[in-house]
Chains A and B, each alone.
Chain A
Amino acid sequence: MSAALHSGPVVHSLWTTAASSTDRFPTPHIEYAQLSPVLIIFGVAMLGILVEAFTPRRHRYTAQVVLAVVGLAAAFAAVVALAEKGYGTTKAHIAAMGAVAVDGPALFLQGTILLVGLVAVFTFAERRLDPKAHGRHVDSFAAQGSAVPGGEQEKAAVRAGFTTTEVFPLLLFAVGGMLVFPAANDLLTLFVALEVFSLPLYILCALARRNRLMSQESAVKYFLLGAFSSAFLLFGIALLYGYSGTVTYSGISAVIDGTAPTNPALDNTTGNDALLLIGLAMVAVGLLFKVGAVPFHMWTPDVYQGAPTPVTGFMAAATKVAAFGALLRLLYVVLPGMRWDWRPVMWGVAIATMLVGAVIAVTQTDVKRLLAYSSVAHAGFILAGVIAVDKDGVSSVLFYLAAYSFVTLGAFAVVTLVRDAGGEATHLSRWAGLGRRSPLVAAVFGVFLLAFAGIPLTSGFAGKFAVFKAAAQGGAMPLVIIGVISSAVAAFFYIRVIVLMFFSEPKPDGPSVAVPSPLTSMAIALGVVVTLVMGLAPQYFLDLADKASVFVR
């Protein structure tokens, strides 16, 4: 992809220019050290595939869990080391021939995604919740994904003690894609990273051990809608490429601002704002689908409900972090010159997302669907911060994402504990009186719900305060008012669940609370600790987010 070709004044001399300039193609220069988090994750994921191929079945679980934990921890250490060296602030630059940015927001979000992935591995590896099958501990994933639910093949697979240990490499591939997504600095990398993290998630959704029909249904829905939205993203990229003749963020931004060197080959297209506006809208559709903003939220409740709960927790937390990172970079680096065009649209989307998410959540009767709609509402709150278009906007969104992802992971981990004979008891009526029967679990879930609601002393309050403050400073006062109103509506149904758990009589045939292994306990405990620490002493994290809030251009 030679920039030298741009200078050719005659468009149709393309083929001869290309032929004569082959000797001038530069060798790509890749900064391997700065990309080390991504490379470690993909390397460990490949190793995981090899473990699947060459290790005896009985050793695979241990090997995969250890590999995944070590890989994620090493990648997190690499992110911290890069940040220590100043790549987040003074040495921020664009690596890999303009494809990947190494800067504050990228490193902050990568660190968050890696920690979320690490906690998710703990919930994936949980094997004490389901009753033993044929004398073996089983996890939340199907014995054999390809077997027909309830068929002979599945029974044989359960008898033989098969487990789907492939979930760990799949998780790592998804994490790898998510690391690249918020750091992508050209539209092609953005698209490839989107697919790299989406495809493993589609498969993970289909792999539940219980309720397999629902799980497969959620995977089909997620896949078809996800592929549909990424086609929109790709056509948007094509139009932006058509408008500007390049897919790098800085190149497109320069063409929009009119500071790019004039190129006669572009005269026809750069004058054509339709290409730019339609392309921008379609790229935004693709990204807003991934964050689950109204009107592209239709997949969230079904997928969140049908997917295995550990996967739901991972997906709800990490996808949101990655997708908001990419959206921020796109709007702040590529399109600051277009802000008067996209801000009104984003206003509308944010208002609709906050109101629809909060209002529809009130009518839900299933815990997982309730959390899904609450995640839609939260997407709206985060969008309010995105719209601020200044440094405070970025730092508040970074902080909110970090706070929100741990609350979500913890909440879904608690959902895996409340079980009856058919697996998880997710219907809200089954949760009645849970606080009488198992006060600790109910109290922990209560903490997460209060954090979702944004009650002071939890991370949710600090996050919401930061986001709304940034939005108000950015001149979006109506947005803040609507945000506070929908927070109040949302608080109603969070509190309703708490009232249901603590102030109603437990049913005689109610669900039991499984005693988890230290893995899930650790995940939940981490969620509580992060929620309380970020709520009681948010300043350190706010400062960190503030330091990390400058995009490299």
Chain B
Amino acid sequence: MNPANYLYLAALLFTIGAAGVLIRRNAIVVFMCVELMLNACNLAFVTFSRLHGNLDGQVIAFFTMVVAAAEVVVGLAIIVSIYRSRHSASVDDANLMKL
């Protein structure tokens, strides 16, 4: 199969993730959409790695996974703390600072 198809898939997943971030209102779901975007990047990296015949892309994919894991640790902690104080994880409810 033509490796370019995987690039189209990566772009599609990235777009779905980005649209999800903009459309969904639950902080957890928004965050999952961000993770989807990061994984789309990973798919692009390994596909390009295959296309070019060098290993850089695959190594970067590992780094991305570690960074995404670290992001989950921090992000979930913040989202859980705001959920506990407001009993809501909706990003629309967090509006104390609107003008």
Interface residues of A (CB under 8 A from B): 1-2, 5-6, 8, 10-14, 17-18, 145-146, 148-149, 188, 191-192, 195, 199, 202-203, 206, 212-214, 216-221, 223-224, 227-228, 231-232, 234-235, 237-239, 241-242, 245-247, 265-266, 268-269, 301-302, 305-306
CA distance A146 to B54 in the complex (A): 45
B1 beta carbon closer than 8 Å to chain A: no
Contact with A along B12-33 (1 / 0, CB 8 A): 0010011001000001001100
* Contact, CB under 8 Å: A12 / B53: yes
* Contact, CB under 8 Å: B51 / A231: no
* Contact, CB under 8 Å: B60 / A188: yes
* Contact, CB under 8 Å: A220 / B71: no
CA distance A49 to B34 in the complex (A): 29
Question: What is the minimal beta-carbon distance from B21 to any residue of chain A, in angstroms?
Answer: 5
Mostly, the B contact residues are helix
Instruction: Name the contact of A231 in the complex, choosing from B37, B54, B55 (C-beta under 8 A).
Output: B37
Closest 8 interchain pairs by CB? A231-B37, A238-B44, A242-B48, A245-B52, A217-B94, A234-B41, A11-B53, A14-B53
Contacts of A218 in B (CB 8 A): 97
Instruction: Name the contact of B60 in the complex, choosing from A11, A231, A241 (C-beta under 8 A).
Output: A241
Choose among B31, B41, B70 the residue with the greatest number of A CB atoms under 10 Å from its CB: B41
* Contact, CB under 8 Å: B55 / A1: yes
Contacts of A18 in B (CB 8 A): 55
**Given A1-B54, A14-B53, A218-B97, 11 more contacts at CB 8 Å?**
A188-B59, A213-B85, A216-B82, A217-B97, A231-B14, A241-B57, A241-B60, A245-B54, A269-B51, A269-B52, A306-B96
**Interchain residue pairs with CB less than 8 A apart (13):** A6-B54, A188-B63, A191-B67, A195-B67, A199-B71, A216-B85, A217-B94, A219-B82, A227-B75, A234-B38, A241-B48, A242-B52, A265-B52
Question: What is the minimal beta-carbon distance from A269 to any residue of chain B, in angstroms?
Answer: 7
* Contact, CB under 8 Å: A195 / B70: yes
Known: A216-B78, A217-B94, A228-B34. A192 touches B52 (CB 8 A): no
Count contacts between A and B, CB distance < 8 Å.
156
Instruction: Name the contact of B54 in the complex, choosing from A5, A224, A227, A238 (C-beta under 8 A).
Output: A5
CA distance A228 to B45 in the complex (A): 18
What residue of chain A has the Cβ atom nearest to residue B33's Cβ?
A228
Mostly, the A contact residues are helix
Choose among B40, B51, B74 the residue with the greatest number of A CB atoms under 10 Å from its CB: B74
CA distance A302 to B50 in the complex (A): 43
Known: A235-B40, A238-B41, A241-B48. A217 touches B59 (CB 8 A): no
Contacts of A1 in B (CB 8 A): 54-56, 59
Instruction: Name the contact of A223 in the complex, choosing from B38, B74, B95 (C-beta under 8 A).
Output: B74
What residue of chain B has the Cβ atom nearest to residue A225's Cβ?
B21
Contacts of A14 in B (CB 8 A): 50, 53-55
* Contact, CB under 8 Å: B56 / A268: no
Instruction: Name the contact of B51 in the complex, choosing from A2, A203, A265, A305 (C-beta under 8 A).
Output: A265
CA distance A221 to B34 in the complex (A): 13
Instruction: Name the contact of A219 in the complex, choosing from B14, B38, B44, B78 (C-beta under 8 A).
Output: B78
Question: What is the minimal beta-carbon distance from A191 to any residue of chain B, in angstroms?
Answer: 7
Question: What is the minimal beta-carbon distance from B7 to any residue of chain A, in angstroms?
Answer: 7
* Contact, CB under 8 Å: A192 / B63: yes
Contacts of B85 in A (CB 8 A): 148-149, 212-213, 216
Question: What is the minimal beta-carbon distance from B64 to any residue of chain A, in angstroms?
Answer: 6
